[in-house]
Every structure is written in C-alpha cells, then in structure tokens.
Amino acid sequence: MGPVGLLDPLIAAADRALRSLAAPARAARPCPGESGAQLTEGERREAAALMRVNHAGEVAAQALYHGQALVARSEATQRLLLKAAREEADHLAWCEQRLTELKSRPSALTPLWYAGSFAIGALAAAFGDATSLGFVAETERQVERHLDDHLARLPSQDHRSRAILCAMRTDEMQHAVSARGAGAAELPEPVRGLMRRTAALMTGTAYWV
C-alpha cells in the first residue's frame, strides 16, 4: 500500500472524530419515548446528571469503535465495528436531545473522553481482531450492567429517559452478541477489572463535570 493508501484510513478516522465532537449529533432512528412528564427540580437535576453520564459513555463508545476500526485486520471486523458505531451515534443524539429537554448540557470533558477512548480502542485492536472483538463483548456487558443501574436510579416518572436507556440497552446487548458470533476472545480478569475501574472514573467524573 502506498503513502496515499496509508493516509486514507487516517483521514477517515479524523473525519469521524470531527463529526463526533464538532457536528450536532444526528440519529437515524426517532428518539424513544415521550417528553411530557413533569419532574421536580431535584428529579430534573438527577435525570440530567445520569443522562450526561450516558452521553459521555456514548462519546466514548463511538471513539472505541473508531479506534478499533482503524486498526482492524479484516474488513469484516471493520464493518461490524463501524455498524456498531453508527448505532451508538443514535444513542449519542438521543442523549443529547434529552439533555436539552432537561435544560442541561453534555460533559465539559467530552474531547478527553473521545481521545482517551480512541487510544484504548486502537490499542485493543493492535492485539488482533479476536481480542478487539472480545473488548467489544466485555465493554457491552459492562454497559448493560451500568444501564440497569441507571434505570433503577431514574425518577419513576421520567419515561422519556427510561425509554432511551431501554433502547440503548437492547442495542448494546446485540453488539455483544455480534462480537461473540464473529469470534470474540474472552479477556482475562485483570483486563476486565481495569476496564471496570476506567469506566467508573469516567462515569463518576461526567456525573458532575
């Protein structure tokens, strides 16, 4: 592959990064749920903080998949990763819309979440497609547990946020199934533990900042 051919994937990755960070998030699917429920001020603040965490998580998810796709060995793996990233773009747009409805904002550290997650994704993919797909499966397994926790913490009458998280959860579970079906390797426990600690740091920070 010549220099121009080598540059093409990098240009595509840079374009995806700019679209994720600088362009308004756009969903291919309509936002789930109805936005009409009235929340108290305390409920609004709690729902907004939780949705800010989920927005940050979706930024990180897109970045992970973009980083993994850049380094993927096979076209089939790259296609799987980019398809998942497009579905995460829907989640990102839904969370962004819900934050606006809740009169709140995304995390101020969004560029940091993207850059760090892109690097982690590229590093995971450097160990081969099976490891990269194992990273997808484990990430989505942890995201599923995270969403279950947020569904339990949301104000009971916040039906819009609940519908968004439920739709996201369905997609995340399917991403894990697809990764396992494509040959995902099981990651060792120390790696899974490090992933949990890294995610906890991000979500704990994004709740406030």
Count of C-beta atoms within a 10 Å radius of residue 148: 12
For residue 26, what pLDDT is reported? 83
Write out pLDDT tens, residues 83-111: 999 999 999 999 999 999 999 999 999 99
Tokens of 146: 């995270």
For residue 23, what pLDDT is reported? 58
Do the Cβ atoms of 65 and 85 come closer than 8 Å?
yes
Tokens of 174: 């399917």
- Every domain of the chain and the residues it spans: 39-208
Tell which CATH classification among 1.10.260.40, 3.40.30.10, 3.30.870.10, 1.20.1260.10 matches the domain 39-208. Answer: 1.20.1260.10
Give the whole-angstrom CA distance, residue 1 versus residue 39.
57
Averaged pLDDT, groups of 10, the chain, 209 residues long: 53 63 77 87 96 95 93 94 92 95 94 93 95 96 96 95 97 96 96 94 93
Give the whole-angstrom CA distance, residue 29 versus residue 86.
11
The angle subtended at Cα 58 by Cα 54 and Cα 59, nearest 5°, is: 120
For residue 10, what pLDDT is reported? 61
Give the whole-angstrom CA distance, residue 132 versus residue 136.
7
For residue 35, what pLDDT is reported? 77
Question: Which contacts (CB < 8 Å, 24+ apart) does range 180-183 have?
Answer: 180/133, 180/137, 182/76, 182/77, 182/80, 182/129, 182/133, 183/129, 183/130, 183/133
Give the whole-angstrom CA distance, residue 143 versus residue 32.
19
Helix or strand or coil: residue 54? helix
For the whole model, what pTM was predicted?
Answer: 0.89
